[in-house]
Structure 1
Amino acid sequence: MNDFRHSHASYLINKGYNALMVAKRLGHSDVAMTLNTYSHLYPSSQEKAVEEMEQEIAL
């Protein structure tokens, strides 16, 4: 059962769903639990922010 939960969380994270939505789907009472458990799966928001800014500036 634990493997299914991890696979489900990984799928949602890779599809771009935010941590709050994932937390609700997994039944976590606090989004911190989700982030503590699955934060390694979230892409770096710092890198994404820089890439998006660079693309907009280049226009």
Structure 2
Amino acid sequence: MNLLKKHRIKQNEIKLKNNHIYYDNGFILARDDGHPQLIKVIETRLKRLLKKSGIEKNITPHSFRHTHTSLLIEAGV
């Protein structure tokens, strides 16, 4: 949660800096103009982070969607 809060602060700074071109649609992973980040960029960064962490599982951004859904079901949502 702390990392997401830091990311939000950084993203708000980018919004203020680029307010004349920033298209705010509420994306968590947005480019400097507010449009969604390309999936290939996210996949590349995720692979690099997994390698640095020593995690050898093949995790994709879509994996997080499945995890989120499972957690919601477990919580009774």
Q: Same fold (TM over 0.5)?
A: no
More helix by share: 1
Larger gyration radius, structure 1 or structure 2:
2
Which structure is richer in relative contact order (CA contacts within 8 A, separation 6 or more)?
A: 1
Q: State the TM-score, normalized to the length of structure 2.
A: 0.25
